[in-house]
Structure 1
Amino acid sequence: MSCPAVSCDSASVVPLHVDGWITGIVDVTPLVRRIRGHLDVRDVDAASVLLPAERLYPYPENRV
């Protein structure tokens, strides 16, 4: 399902999220608490190691 670029109402957008865009939900609370613990004691290096790797969004070169 897709909606036209010019207009999308909630009735057409909600199924996109439910059926296609959301592929899973992961509780990251324990990880965030560990990171926060390191930041609370100003250990930025230990906190940084726990962060997920940054992934660049694929974008066609001809669109830049």
Structure 2
Amino acid sequence: MVREPDYKKAYEILNHALEEAVRVLQKAHLRTTSNIKLDTGELTADDEGEWAELYVKTAQEYADHCK
């Protein structure tokens, strides 16, 4: 009996890996952006509005990427 490759399963594994990679990169992007803004003084720890804006922007970029 010949076993054919399970292309669907391979695709699902690859797709999951790509989704995880995008999630990790988005998280790193948010953290890096926040740290740069904190280091330059553009953002302070008390500036909640800016933090919220960064989270919203990152979420929108992620959503756009997933389309």
Higher relative contact order (CA 8 A, sep 6+): 2
Asked if Structure 1 and Structure 2 have the same fold, meaning a TM-score greater than 0.5 normalized by the shorter chain, the answer is no
Q: TM-score, normalised by structure 2?
A: 0.34
Task: Report which of the two has the higher share of helix.
Answer: 2
